[in-house]
Structure formats: structure tokens, C-alpha cells
């Protein structure tokens, strides 16, 4: 199923690569944000189905904090993408068990599986 996806990643090259991969998987990329505050504002306007979220972002807000707010305000499912999965446990507020975490570097198959699983969980 095609999802509307917001990418939140502060490294531009990685963000663009994610956008390309997400489009190739048949999804719509609504936009790319590099900070938590920007992502929250964008998500409130565009109401994405899914958010692909890095844990460490520009600015004072972590990806986990931004994800918590976006999930509460929009109901979007979250797929964390991080080089430091253990940082997610320390990032607080603790992400719900329904969130998915993909470690960088990741394969196209890992990303595809994560997006599909997040979409299925959101539909329940």
C-alpha cells in the first residue's frame, strides 16, 4: 500500500537517498525536515501516514521527542533510522513498542520491510 511519508534526517545526503529509496518503493515523499521543530510543524500541516525519523537531529530536540509529539498530534507511524540504536533507548520519552528501528547502514529490503510493517500496524 502506498503511504505518505515525511523524512526527518539532518544529513542532507542521507535524507535525499532515503527519499529516492522511498519513492522507488512506491510511496509518496511529502517532504524532508532536518530538525524536530521543523518536522512537527510540517507533520501538522501535511499529516503523513509514516515518518522516517533519525534519532539525532539539528537543534535541541531529539528525534524521539519529535516523534512522540508527531505521533500524538497526527497518529503517524514512526520508523526510526539511526546509526546508534542504543541512543534511542536513552533519548526519551521512550518510544512505544509499536515503533520500528532500522540501523544505518541499511539495505533496501530492511527499509521496505520496516515501512510495510509500520503501515500495517498503523492500519490496525
Spatial neighbors of 110 by CB under 8 A, at least 6 apart, are 102
pTM as predicted: 0.90
How many domains in the chain?
1
Q: Which of 62, 47, 60 is nearest to 8 (CA)?
A: 62
To which H or E segment does residue 80 belong?
A: strand 77-82
pLDDT of residue 30: 98
Q: What is the pLDDT of residues 8-46, one digit of tens each?
A: 999 999 999 999 999 999 999 999 999 999 999 999 999
Q: What is the pLDDT of residues 62-99, one digit of tens each?
A: 998 999 999 999 999 999 998 877 666 555 555 555 67
Please tell me whether the peptide bond between 96 and the residue prior to it is cis, using omega within 30 degrees of 0.
Answer: no
Dist CA 22 CA 5 (whole Å): 8
Give the pLDDT confidence score for residue 68 in this predicted structure.
92
pLDDT at 93: 53
- Tell me how far the alpha carbon of residue 47 is from its chain's centroid: 13
pLDDT at 83: 86
Across residues 55-65, what is the average pLDDT?
Answer: 91
CATH number at residue 50: 3.40.50.2300
Domain limits for position 30: 4-123
DSSP-derived secondary structure letter, 84: -
* Phi, psi (deg, nearest 5) at residue 56: -100, 120
Amino acid at each position: 500500500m502506498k503511504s505518505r511519508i515525511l523524512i526527518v534526517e539532518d544529513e542532507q545526503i542521507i535524507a535525499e537517498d532515503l527519499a529516492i529509496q522511498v519513492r522507488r518503493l512506491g510511496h509518496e515523499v511529502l517532504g524532508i525536515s532536518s530538525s524536530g521543530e521543523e518536522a512537527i510543524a510540517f507533520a501538522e500541516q501535511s499529516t503523513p501516514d509514516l515518518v522516517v525519523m533519525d534519532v539525532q537531529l539539528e537543534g535541541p530536540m531529539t528525534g524521539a521527542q519529535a516523534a512522540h509529539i508527531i505521533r500524538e498530534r497526527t497518529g503517524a507511524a514512526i520508523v526510526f533510522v539511526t546509526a546508534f540504536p542504543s541512543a534511542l533507548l536513552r533519548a526519551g520519552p521512550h518510544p512505544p513498542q509499536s515503533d520500528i528501528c532500522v540501523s544505518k547502514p541499511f539495505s533496501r529490503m530492511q527499509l521496505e520491510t520496516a515501512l510495510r510493517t509500520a503501515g500495517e500496524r498503523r492500519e490496525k
